[in-house]
Amino acid sequence: MKILGLSGAVFHDASAALLVDGQLVAAAEEERFIRDKHAKGHFPYEAAKFCLQQAGLTPNDIDAIAFPFAPISLAGPARWHFAKRYWYAPDRALDALFNGNRHYRRNYKKAMQFFADLGFNPERTKFVPVEHHLSHASSAYHLSGFNEKTAILGLDGKGEYATSFFGYGENGKIHKLKEFYDPDSLGGIYGALTQYLGFEMLDGEFKVMGMAPYGDPTKYDLSRLIDYDDSGFRINTQYVNTVGLRRYKQNGRAYYFSPKLVEWLGPKREGDEIDEPYIHYAASLQQMLEKVSLRMVDHYLGDILKQTGKLCFAGGVALNVKLNQKLIARSDVKELFVQPAANDAGTSLGAATYVANELGDECQRQAHVYLGPEYTSDDCIAACEQHAEKPKWQKVDNQSETAAELLAAGNPVAWFQGRMEFGPRALGNRSILGDPSNKGIADRINAQIKYRERWRPFCPSMLDRVAAEILQTEHPAPYMTFTFPVAESWKARIPEVVHEDGTARAQVVSKDTNPRYYALIEALEKHTGNGVVLNTSLNRRGEPMVCSPTDALNMFYGSDLEYLIMEDILVTK
């Protein structure tokens, strides 16, 4: 079967993914093509066109379009819970009861327009809605490669009404054990405090996570924001996860927290510096997320974990690598698989895999995330010739060795090769690289290239043969979805990729999945003695990761980068 999955149902992170007979052959995010970060309000037209082109298919070849948003019955608990908890906003409460599938109808209308615009035949190609959290669950479970009974965790802001999913997978089937519903959302409370701490919701949560190690979680007690016990939690909507008149407003903008929160904690944070008391609020928030999440896992998934030790995790909160570190540390977790595109972009994968499984296909394990467009050296040369800056370029015989020499000399290098990554992490194909033993390289990249907060950490990509020594674990870590404590003997060797708390969000690189990147790190190892490179995404603050050679050149000339390698083309200033 040929299944095309689409995301964008919740009006951000639109993407498309294509499965052919259970094999994931292409996936890409709309933002990369239209150059609008998170593609808010967009449908994945360009991403879908790419997936079809990559597979050599036409719309008439597609058996089903899977969509991660479904109608929710009034007979279930979700809409009633929403109405009861939002009693203070009667218009919202009544709308949930009497017009509770309005968002689905709006999405369905957009999907039918998509059918018409791209030439799909509704009589040939089925449109199959899948519940949002089932899509998240499937994106992790069906692509994990786990054959045993597997615990499944899903945490995000919200989908239709659900905010959290606890269940398990067995023999290809997903079983739902428990859901929590809006406004009781762990992703929601983290997002609300993200806004209060001066960042954008849906984009700045990882900045809060990066800020947390600078603070002391015991300095401020945020427990009044949430009540929880072994079996559940309840958000205090007097402070956060608010709607309507309860929302705090500033300069004509309404936030997801209330004036009461500001009265309690002080003014909303502004600016780029990490300062008190905000670093302590971030630390307390992170600790709260970990405590509540782990307690819910104990209650709902503990018995399953004791059987096999396998856990899958997806949803925006699954990108919280500090929480993932705590999950791996559990004695009952033998292996954790986090969908690398765990945010809503990954629901295109999840919807497609769920429908494929329902139609009888056996979904294959996700082997890598290099699922986007790729370009030849001739494409890169053509982009140089057409670019307004008239780049100076030359062909190089060994791009990995060339890059390693530049890195060892203390230079950041933009590195563009192969198929673009799917998901929010640059994993060696659209990256800015540095030598992590070179003191000050991280500050230079932050200040002169990325133009982002100077306290933000960078991540290491490391050879698989040295990873266990550095990270002190054999746990798989190919996608930068976990942090690990760095061995004391390595902290001084690679200081630029060790965070404030002594951990690193690592990518373990294998020769099988990315031979050219592996060769680069090996070449750098010959110069420095360390099989590790600093790796961050090839973009500037507020921009999507680059997709094409032209995007790379635009980013290159919009920063202080001096070296860009695209396939076997070296561009210099």
Q: Quick check: 86 and 92 in contact, CB under 8 A?
A: yes
Annotated catalytic residues are: 12
159 exposed, middle or buried (CB, 10 Å; 0-12, 13-18, 19+)?
Answer: buried
**Pairing relation of β-strands 532-537 and 459-463?**
antiparallel
- d(C-alpha 42, C-alpha 44), whole Å: 7
- d(C-alpha 357, C-alpha 213), whole Å: 41
H-only helix segments in 421-559: 441-445, 464-471, 488-491, 515-528, 549-557
- d(C-alpha 139, C-alpha 350), whole Å: 4
Which of 169, 479, 173, 179 has its CA nearest to residue 305? 169
Per DSSP, 200 falls in state -
pTM of the model: 0.97
The residues that bridge with 413 in the sheet, in sequence order, are 433
Full DSSP string of 403-432:
HHHHHHTT--EEEE-SSPBSSS---SSEEE
- Residue 520 sits at the vertex; the CA angle it makes with 517 and 526, to the nearest 5 degrees, is 150
Domains recognised in the chain with CATH numbers: 186-337 (3.30.420.40), 377-572 (3.90.870.20)
**What b/e readout covers 275-305, taking b as 16+ CB neighbours within 10 angstroms?**
eeebbbbbbbbbbbbbebbebbbebbbeebb
Question: What pLDDT shows up at residue 453?
Answer: 85
- d(C-alpha 190, C-alpha 256), whole Å: 10
Output the tens digit of pLDDT for each of the chain's 573 residues. 999 999 999 999 999 999 999 999 999 999 999 999 999 999 999 999 999 999 999 999 999 999 999 999 999 999 999 999 999 999 999 999 999 999 999 999 999 999 999 999 999 999 999 999 999 999 999 999 999 999 999 999 999 999 999 999 999 999 999 999 999 999 999 999 999 999 999 999 999 999 999 999 999 999 999 999 988 999 999 999 999 999 999 999 999 999 999 999 999 999 988 899 999 999 999 999 999 999 999 999 999 999 999 999 999 999 999 999 999 999 999 999 999 999 999 999 999 999 999 999 999 999 999 999 999 999 999 999 999 999 999 999 999 999 999 999 999 999 999 999 999 999 999 999 999 999 999 999 998 999 888 888 899 999 999 999 999 999 999 999 999 999 999 999 999 999 999 999 999 999 999 999 999 999 999 999 999 999 999 999 999 999 999 999 999 999 999 999 999 999 999
Question: What pLDDT shows up at residue 50?
Answer: 98
| Residues constituting the chain | 573
